[in-house]
Amino acid sequence: MKNILFVASECVPFIKTGGLADVVGTLPKKFNKDEYDCRVIIPNYRCIPDKFRNNFRYIHHFYMDMGERFSSVHVGIMYYEYEGIKFYFVDNLFYFGGDKPYADTRYDIEKFIYFSKAVMAILPVIDFRPDVIHCHDWQAGLVPVYMHTLYRNHPFYQNTKCVFTIHNLRFQGIWDIPTIRSLSGLPGWVFTPDKLEFHKDANMLKGGLVYSDYITTVSDTYAGEIQTDYYGEGLDGLLRARNQSLRGIVNGIDYTDYDPEKDENLAKKYSARSFKKGKEANKLALQKELGLEENPDRFMISIISRLTDQKGLDLVRYALDRITDEFTQLVVLGTGDPQYENLFRDCAWHNNGKVSANIFFDEALAHRIYAASDAVLVPSKFEPCGLTQLIGLRYGAVPIVRETGGLKDTVQPFNEYDGTGIGFSFANYNGDELLNIINYAKHIFFDTRKEWDQMVSRGMKTDYSWINSAKKYEQLYDSLCG
């Protein structure tokens, strides 16, 4: 039996702002339980819903040194078992008491330094000795650094390996060296350019990448892209140097949570065989719910996304007036950059009955939109994996994507000559290319409906569950543990 610990800042069903939470909450359930005891540790945010928090069990608490500035910081350990997985929650109201998991950068830096250090201190207390600590994104970046410095000679961690998964290279946890040094209590010699130093500052993600035994990211294409100047976010040199210990393992989605045959959120459930009737009923219900014209023949495109530059929304802005013609409806669900929130609010205001802007986070509504939509639009500038296109496929909403990262690896483009493919894609980051491919998709939808329906059916039958990828992680753990 191998012990694996996931360390992350978010995890479904407790707290989610993006795809990271889906992966951290789902993947542990997919490992072979006879061979891997995979547990998860995240912060005990006060904004985790009460229905969970009220059932967390107190295990222990102690006080921990935190760098030069604070001694005796409270560390509480809470515990909860959910769907067969053991979850631990690091409790500290000062750091995790806000109404959102993330706030301003300086505060987040301190919060996740504390979190990483607390994780290292907690494991001996709960006596869970991991063979592999699997860290996710910059918030867990200091865990491998602590392991090789302050905990280097700690008997508990002598045989522990670290795997680091990059879900998004853009976010790195960067602040000035004196602050990070004094908050973390790390020795001065780690703040050099070959370790944590990054353009004179300290970079927590970089620390994680330098000190981990193996690095993964969430698709093959992204694994290659991040070794280039364009996508490397300043770390491409390091990633090229670590090329022999770096690979992509594509994300899956939870086929139990995302299942149109069993989804209680839907107006009507449906399968790959009954999708025509099912999706029509869901479209009509959603049109009614959102105040759109109730007409099953409208082409419904949706965007379910963080509204940030990464997601290619400047291309959408460029083409917006021409996307929303009289036969097309656009449904947006997302939050983020105010310029995009206002863009879609404004667009909905001017296109009453044709465009719906839902500027908030709502998991159940997301499910209803996937079920109702004919297409999901994901024109990202970069996309490590992307889950929306996978969820879209599962619900028979055809993905229209840009060929980057995981979007390229998961959406085989439609080929009208041999009747293959499950979506539409364009290569260059260019608004006219986006518009062309949307117009082409409209043409297939309106003029050759049979071909469209066959594509929907092929997409729904494509397997993007976790089965294959979970095996790849298992093999990676095995190879590291020898």
The secondary structure of 153-195 as a DSSP string is T-GGGTT-EEEEEES-TT---EEEHHHHHHHH---GGG-STTT
DSSP secondary structure letters along 216-259: EES-HHHHHHTTSTTTSTT-HHHHHHTGGGEEE------TTTS-
Considering only 302-310, 313-321, 346-354, 461-469, which stretch makes contact with ligand ADP by CB under 6 A? Answer: 302-310
With 0-12 / 13-18 / 19 or more C-beta atoms within 10 angstroms meaning exposed / middle / buried, residue 183 is: buried
Q: Which C-beta is closer to ligand ADP: that of 181 or that of 279? A: 279
Of 25, 173, 208, 334, the one binding ligand ADP (CB under 6 A) is 334
Q: Any contact of residue 256 with ligand ADP (CB under 6 A)?
A: no
Stretch that binds ligand ADP, among 76-84, 327-335, 343-351, 466-474 (CB under 6 A): 327-335
Number of other residues whose CB lies within 10 A of the CB of residue 105:
12
Q: How far is the CB of 274 from ligand ADP (least distance, A)?
A: 23
User: Within positions 356 to 375, which residues make up the interface with ligand ADP, using CB under 6 A?
Assistant: 361-363, 366
Asked whether 438 and 319 are in contact (CB, 8 A), the reply is: yes
Torsion of CA 360, 363, 366, 367, to 10 degrees: -170
In this chain, which stretch among 17-25, 62-70, 277-285, 416-424 interacts with ligand ADP, using CB under 6 A? 17-25
265 binds ligand ADP (CB under 6 A): no
Number of residues this chain uses to bind ligand ADP (CB under 6 A): 19
Q: What does the alpha-carbon distance between residue 280 and residue 374 come to, in Å, rounded to a whole number?
A: 10
Told to check if 217 binds ligand ADP by CB under 6 A, we report no
Output the smallest distance, CB 438 to ligand ADP, in A: 19
Q: Considering the rule CB under 6 A, would residue 176 count as an interface residue with ligand ADP?
A: no
| Residue number closest to ligand ADP, CB atom | 19
254 near ligand ADP (CB under 6 A) = no
Please name which of 449, 450, 448, 390 lies closest in space to residue 422, comparing C-alpha atoms.
Answer: 390
CB closer to ligand ADP, 222 vs 275: 222
Binding piece for ligand ADP, criterion CB under 6 A, among 19-27, 273-281, 424-432, 455-463 = 19-27
* Helix 105-126 and helix 177-184, axial crossing angle in degrees, nearest 10: 30
Question: How many degrees, rounded to 5, is the angle at CA 324 between CA 322 and CA 330?
Answer: 140
- Which spans of this chain sit near ligand ADP (rule: CB under 6 A)? 18-20, 22, 304-306, 333-335, 361-363, 366, 385-388, 391
